[in-house]
Amino acid sequence: MTNAEAEVRALVAEYPDATLVELSELLLQKTGNWVSRTALCRYLQKLGLNRKKKHGTVAKLEQKECKS
């Protein structure tokens, strides 16, 4: 396991609900290395660490337009 892999795995374990942007910022604070959201997403996929979206609100259903 590389040092970067250990750092990323530790951050994901510590902040399981963090978004990719938040993880990128945490990685910057912890290591001093900035990683783009896209690169971090690809690296997490490579490590087999799936990310989930936060669902804080209910999605609006499309309303069909009714002509009277």
Per-residue pLDDT of the chain (68 residues; tens, 9 = 90+): 678 889 999 999 999 888 999 999 999 999 888 899 999 999 999 998 876 555 555 555 566 666 66
Distance CA 11, CA 8 (A): 5
Parse the chain into domains and list their residue ranges: 3-47
Distance CA 34, CA 9 (A): 16
Distance CA 53, CA 16 (A): 11
Q: What is the pLDDT of residue 9?
A: 92
Q: Are the C-beta atoms of 49 and 57 separated by less than 8 Å?
A: no
